[in-house]
Amino acid sequence: MTSVYGGSGDPARSIELLWGLREPPRRGPKPKLTVDGIAAAAIGIADAEGLAALSMRRVAAELGVTAMSLYSYVPGKAELIDVMVDRVVGENGVPDHEPGGWRSRLERVARQAWDRYLRHPWLLQVATSRPVLGPNIIARYDYELRAVAGIGLSNIEMDLVVSMIADYVHGAVRTAVELAQAEQQTGKTDIAWWEERAPLLAKVFDAERYPVAAEVGAAAGEEYQAAVDPARSFEFGLARLLDGVAVLVERAARGETA
Amino acid sequence: MTSVYGGSGDPARSIELLWGLREPPRRGPKPKLTVDGIAAAAIGIADAEGLAALSMRRVAAELGVTAMSLYSYVPGKAELIDVMVDRVVGENGVPDHEPGGWRSRLERVARQAWDRYLRHPWLLQVATSRPVLGPNIIARYDYELRAVAGIGLSNIEMDLVVSMIADYVHGAVRTAVELAQAEQQTGKTDIAWWEERAPLLAKVFDAERYPVAAEVGAAAGEEYQAAVDPARSFEFGLARLLDGVAVLVERAARGETA
DNA sequence: TTGAACTTCTTACAGCGTAGGCTATTATTC
DNA sequence: GAATAATAGCCTACGCTGTAAGAAGTTCAA
């Protein structure tokens, strides 16, 4: 299950943390930890065990302090997650200039997001409307928009295209992550799991009433040796999506309004 | 935030619950509750307060019993959620035959999913790989496939198209729900919220370094009077997606393989 | 009437985020 | 060098979670 976690406890404080503002006066005992170190430990836990396993006590234990010590560095868990997000968004740097046409650039944007979600599946569960605008998030937003800049789209259309890609990738990678997690947690591959349930399913499933589902389900099972093949699904969906954008771009090139 | 909740504690037991198998012998005190009643109460809570607020104690309180009483009817919380999902998937019935061409049928599939997610935002947080195949989930899967049946696509392509639509809708509606929840929780509209943060953002955001983001962000803010307009975003994305499917369908009609 | 089957309630456990208060440590000021 | 102020870190405590274990109460079949 997923519950919607959102960062953004106090956005102003989060922004200060993210941009390294508010250097504190130099009194009192020397800090044992740093915000970056705490975020790194938290990211490690979330990557390995999921966002549900991420607790202040758990992070503190990892760092050899008590839970309450973390509150000297970070106002709360929500702001810590804000920092985590900005860190992983900037993980491998944000490219400056990208060669190729809009299609290959957009494809790269989508694949980078896909890879990032696979590396950090907990990102799927972090609410990103009203994102806290850390340095990396801003840089990446600019980078993504540049993929569709200068090809005849209006500013609004550029924003819509980038949002659409983001929405689709989120949905697609979620399927992939859920499949992987299900296999890991049950120790059974998808095909083994479904075969195990086949006898019970046969009792309740009326193939005559639902012939299309029966045929397609069987075909998919044979083809993938699983109920789904998320990577292939992503490739297929991305290709269709970009085909659809191409129609828009051509229309714009001919001077038509959508 | 969202944590990934998934139903599916014991799938076999869930299937029995969903299909009303395992009528129990008639001894002992008369049951005060029914599985359907419990699921209805749980759906009400999840709709109104979110999946995070859904606890066994909360459901029990709603029904005037103690938490542990529920365990006579349902093996656990995970299986309860399985039942909830199947119920809302069948909520308004699953249509038998749909008029129109593949495009209007697919559009209808997407809009029904969109509406369902808006009515029951907690569905976004329930893992659906390895779904528990209740009667309504099966019926809807068949219905969705029928939207793209008989137009020249292979079984695999039909499955891929339906998955792609599902993935996109999930991603798009998630944005919409997050925005609505953010407005509800903060009591501030999107535009008011961003304007409030503008001074702090101006301090850290370098418009010269990120000219595209600056321009597009400003344009979007003016156009939507918000950072995003989810309904418009959905319409735009769906149109592009269906344009992309049209390319595929035309290619199939010409006998080409993808 | 008795016993089995079943429902319901009580108790308990370990874990969560974090408020409040305390002590120990350090840099600055006199 | 001593006093002071500010900070770091720890401890305790609250109400919440899902559900295991077991006791108590209710209803039917024999």
The distance of A154 to chain B (nearest Cα, Å) reads 9
List residues bridging with B84 in a β-sheet.
none
Considering CB atoms only, which of A149, A155, A178 is closest to B129? A178
Spatial CA neighbour of A152 closest among A257, A256, A252: A252
Report the 10 Å Cβ neighbour count for A201. 16
**What is the distance between the alpha carbons of residues B35 and B45, in angstroms, rounded to a whole number?**
15
Spatial CA neighbour of A164 closest among B258, B136, B243: B243
**Contact yes or no for B147/B106 (Cβ under 8 A):** yes
Is A57 domain-assigned?
Answer: yes
DSSP characters for A197-250?
A: HHHHHHHH--TTT-HHHHHHHHHHHHHHSSS--HHHHHHHHHHHHHHHHHHHHH
Give me the amino acid identity at B208: E
Per-residue model confidence as pLDDT tens digits over B56-94: 888 888 888 888 888 888 888 888 898 899 999 999 888
Boundary of a domain, candidates B45, B65, B89: B89
Considering only residues B93 and B13, tell me which one the structure prediction assigns the higher pLDDT: B93
* pLDDT value at B165 more than 60: yes
Is A134 domain-assigned?
Answer: yes
Tell me how many domains chain A contains.
Answer: 2
Per-residue model confidence as pLDDT tens digits over B134-164: 889 999 999 999 999 999 999 999 999 999 9
Q: What mean pLDDT value characterizes chain B?
A: 85
CA dist B33 to A117, B71, B255, Å? 42, 11, 57
Considering only residues B23 and A127, tell me which one the structure prediction assigns the higher pLDDT: A127
Strands A126-127 and B2-6, how do they pair? Answer: unpaired
List residues bridging with B5 in a β-sheet.
B126
Boundary of a domain, candidates B89, B120, B138: B89
Instruction: Please name the residues between 219 and 248 in chain B that touch chain A, using a CB distance below 8 Å.
Output: 219-220, 223, 227-228, 232-233, 236-237, 239-245, 247-248
Is A191 domain-assigned?
Answer: yes
Task: Quickly state the pLDDT bin for A257 (edges 50, 70, 90).
Answer: low
Per-residue model confidence as pLDDT tens digits over A104-141: 999 999 999 999 999 999 999 998 878 888 889 999 99
**Per the CB < 8 Å rule, is A241 touching B242?**
no
Is B97 domain-assigned?
Answer: no
**What is the distance between the alpha carbons of residues B7 and A62, in angstroms, rounded to a whole number?**
30
The reply to whether A234 and A115 lie within a common domain is: yes
**What is the distance between the alpha carbons of residues A106 and A170, in angstroms, rounded to a whole number?**
15
- For the segment A142-157, the average pLDDT, to the nearest whole number, is 93
**What is the distance between the alpha carbons of residues B174 and B169, in angstroms, rounded to a whole number?**
8
In this structure, the protein residues whose CB atom falls closer than 7 angstroms to any atom of nucleic acid strand C are: A 9, 26-30, 54-58, 67-68, 71, 76-78; B 24-25, 27-29, 31-33, 60, 65-69, 71-73
Spatial CA neighbour of A51 closest among A120, A112, A114, A113: A120
Q: Give the pLDDT score at A21.
A: 67
**Contact yes or no for B160/A236 (Cβ under 8 A):** yes
Boundary of a domain, candidates B89, B116, B142: B89
**What is the distance between the alpha carbons of residues B122 and B54, in angstroms, rounded to a whole number?**
10
**Which ipTM score applies to this complex?**
0.89
The reply to whether A134 and A231 lie within a common domain is: yes
Give me the amino acid identity at B245: V
The reply to whether B41 and B76 lie within a common domain is: yes
Which domain CATH number covers A27? 1.10.10.60
Task: Quickly state the pLDDT bin for B225 (edges 50, 70, 90).
Answer: confident
The reply to whether A72 and A129 lie within a common domain is: no
